[in-house]
Amino acid sequence: MSTKRVLLTGSDGQLGQALRQSVPAEIELIAVGRSQLDLADATACHQTVMDLRPDWVLNGGAYTAVDKAETEPELAEAVNAGAPEAFARALAETGGRLLQVSTDFVFNGCQGTPYLPGQPVDPMGIYGSSKAHGEQRARQAMPQDRCCILRTSWVYGPVGKNFCLTMLRLHRLKAEAGEPLAVVADQVGCPTSTLTLAAACWSLVQRDISGVHHWSDAGSASWYDFAVAIGTQGAAQGLIEREARVIPIRTSDYPTPATRPGYSLLECTATRTALDLPPLHWQEALNQVLAAVPQAQS
């Protein structure tokens, strides 16, 4: 297999770190974080591709502060839509390919059955809109047979800032205080480990796959289900002394600035087949992530 030169953005983020740790031997990786490349600067994004001329740009960086995006729409749009377009325009000139990591938030969550890759998007908030715009603008700016969109959901890993590590901390604090932990139970999706997501990304790059694809771990869960499993498995692995009692609440009991999809399962069968990657249930993936959590993080 020939060597591919890959420019990875967001290399310091939770997905970026997983990608760096699992890079295949035949990949020549150029990893840049926020300090090396400001994704809000479209000119810098374009010029970086023109200077480095990678075979692929794996755009793993993003503006992901869902609630904060409601008050910073320009910044969210610049990072999540402007950067992918800039990369795509440059790659259209150099002949390279783009892997744009996207999100389940491009859907409104109202249909109640898993979303297919080809369905029309209908985001509800600024974050989802900015990511949908990024998909659209990237695909319009370069040949579609060289552009790959990978939507995923509820991403978490052993490092960084994510729901899993937050819940580990809250389980410890609430258990020590003898208090319950309240978690939303009426939003349904699927947690996705950065470890399995990174494997999917590298498989897409190695196979030169284009088009729109979905990837998450297998099964479904509410945030409540996920929180309970994090406590149970975290205690079993010795990351916390004991789990807190988790109580289910409604979305209306925990208002947030941004509206979340009530149902955002992604249909991933075609992608798993194309990549020859078997499904891994989210609870098995959670076990793998918890096993990789540094003691200082837990």
- Residue at 180: amino acid letter: P
Residues classed as catalytic: 127
Q: In what order do the strands lie in the sheet with 211-214?
A: 27-31, 4-9, 56-59, 97-103, 147-152, 211-214
- The label of the residue with tokens 């949908």 reads 132
Query: Which of 91, 86, 115, 241 has its CA nearest to residue 168?
Result: 241
CA distances from residue 261 to 92, 96, 291 in whole angstroms, order as listed: 34, 34, 30
**Contacts for 176 with CB less than 8 Å, ≥ 6 apart:** none
- 3-state DSSP call for residue 167? helix
Helical segments of 178-222, H only: 194-206
If you count them, how many residues does the chain have?
Answer: 298
Q: Two tokens at 110?
A: 């109202």
CA distances from residue 205 to 98, 148, 265 in whole angstroms, order as listed: 9, 9, 24
**Contacts for 191 with CB less than 8 Å, ≥ 6 apart:** 153, 154, 156, 163, 164, 216, 217, 221, 226, 282, 285, 286
